[in-house]
């Protein structure tokens, strides 16, 4: 019987951590080797890709941006920059039109420097920032370069001081920080009231399923579908092994001379969401199964980086 291998995309409910979802799937599939592809705060809902089995070793090779729909509440700052935190200041929001608000949002589009929230998992001298923040310590976080590919104003309510936005952004972007900075630029403060992730890397809402219920035993018909990693690694070139002998050689960690095998390299599919990765190659066996990741060096030698079911 084949070991579970691939991705399950959960529509994460509010109130659970990403690790809670991982633990649930560990019980569902009866294995420990499971990990998520990008933390969501407990209050945040939406697309959470979870790698099953050896697919955990492929998480770092996923490419693509992340997309969210969020509600930003003007007029209040919290210490966490979201609705979960303590209010630290309040002020009346200004009278502003949709056009003026959209012009203001333009300053947050593209490459910008963003300071993470103090209640975040950023490391400060080996310790998470949120642990220092909980102790009431004062510290400053260094702004980091991030990219806002799209920041679209969906609705604006002057009476409630609420704006709904769609955001497509690079990895490492904090939507909480974006809400805070928009409020500060308006001079009234703001916090993130609600957030739903609609896309992570190449995974979107069409791939997502509900988190399985808590059960003592999970029959096969109640287990969520495991999606093939090949569908989400199309930005990688792929190289096919033609025989069982080549597979054994690969699993033994041997290099492959690429010079006489150009026709076996399949180039990646380019799209708007993810740039092609020219360094890493997905290695496929003669049965069309993923057997690892390799690196093609300048001397046209394919060097194993990730080898599944390695020998020796």
Asked if residue 275 has pLDDT above 70, the reply is no
Domain with CATH 2.30.130.10 in the chain: 234-307
- Count the helix, strand and coil residues of the chain and give each as a percent rounded to the nearest 5: 25, 35, 40
Confidence of residue 260 (pLDDT cuts 50, 70, 90): low
Whether 103 sits among the annotated catalytic residues: the reply is no
Selecting among 11, 20, 41, 111, the annotated active-site residue is 41
Average pLDDT over residues 190-218: 95
Measured distance CA(213)–CA(237) in Å, rounded: 38
| Contact in structure between 6 and 52 (CB atoms under 8 Å) | yes
pLDDT of residue 279: 83
Pairing of strands 290-296, 76-78: unpaired
Measured distance CA(291)–CA(283) in Å, rounded: 6
Domain 6-64+202-229 has CATH 3.30.2350.10: yes
Radius of gyration of the chain (CA): 23
Domain 234-307 has CATH 2.30.130.10: yes
Domain 66-199 has CATH 3.30.2350.10: yes
| Contact in structure between 233 and 269 (CB atoms under 8 Å) | no
Residue 295 class from Cβ within 10 Å (0-12 exposed, 13-18 middle, 19+ buried)?
Answer: middle
**Which residue from 270, 155, 208 is spatially nearest to 48, judged by alpha carbons?**
208
| DSSP string for 78-120 | ETTSBTTS-EEEE-PPPP--HHHHHHHHGGGSEEEEEPPPSSS
- CA 135 to chain centroid: 29
The 10s digit of each residue's pLDDT in 147-184 is 999 999 999 999 999 999 999 999 999 999 999 999 99
The 10s digit of each residue's pLDDT in 2-40 is 889 999 999 999 999 999 999 999 999 999 999 999 889
Confidence of residue 141 (pLDDT cuts 50, 70, 90): confident
Domain with CATH 3.30.2350.10 in the chain: 6-64+202-229, 66-199
**Which residue from 7, 15, 57, 52 is spatially nearest to 33, judged by alpha carbons?**
52
- CA 120 to chain centroid: 16
Q: What is the mean pLDDT of the chain?
A: 91
Number of helices (H), then strands (E), belonging to the chain: the values are 5, 19
């Amino acid at each position: 019987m084949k070991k579970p291998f691939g991705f399950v995309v959960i529509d994460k409910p509010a109130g659970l951590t990403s690790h809670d979802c991982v633990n649930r799937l560990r019980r569902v599939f009866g294995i420990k080797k499971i990990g998520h592809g990008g933390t969501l705060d407990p209050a945040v809902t939406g697309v959470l890709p979870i790698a099953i089995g050896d697919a955990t070793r492929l998480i770092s090779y996923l490419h693509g941006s992340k997309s969210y729909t969020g509600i930003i509440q003007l007029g209040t700052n919290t210490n966490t920059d979201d609705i979960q935190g303590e209010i630290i200041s309040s002020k009346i929001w200004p009278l502003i039109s949709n056009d003026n608000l959209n012009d203001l949002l333009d300053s947050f589009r593209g490459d910008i420097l963003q300071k993470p929230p103090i209640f975040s998992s950023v490391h400060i001298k080996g310790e998470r920032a949120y642990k220092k923040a909980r102790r009431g310590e004062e510290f400053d976080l260094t702004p980091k370069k991030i990219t806002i590919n799209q920041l679209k104003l969906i609705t604006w309510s002057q009476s409630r001081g609420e704006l709904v936005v769609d955001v497509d952004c690079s990895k490492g972007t904090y939507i909480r920080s974006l809400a805070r900075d928009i409020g500060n630029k308006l001079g009234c403060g703001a916090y993130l009231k609600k957030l739903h992730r609609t896309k992570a890397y190449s995974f979107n809402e069409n791939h997502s399923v509900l988190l399985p219920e808590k059960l003592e035993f999970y029959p096969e018909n109640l287990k969520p579908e495991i999606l093939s990693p090949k569908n989400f690694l199309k930005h990688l070139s792929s190289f096919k092994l033609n025989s069982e002998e080549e597979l054994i050689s690969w699993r033994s960690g041997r290099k492959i001379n690429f010079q006489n095998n150009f026709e076996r390299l399949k180039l990646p599919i380019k799209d708007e969401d993810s740039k092609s990765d020219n360094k890493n190659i997905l290695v496929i066996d003669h049965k069309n199964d993923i057997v690892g990741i390799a690196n093609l060096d300048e001397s046209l030698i394919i060097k194993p980086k990730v080898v599944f079911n390695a020998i020796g």
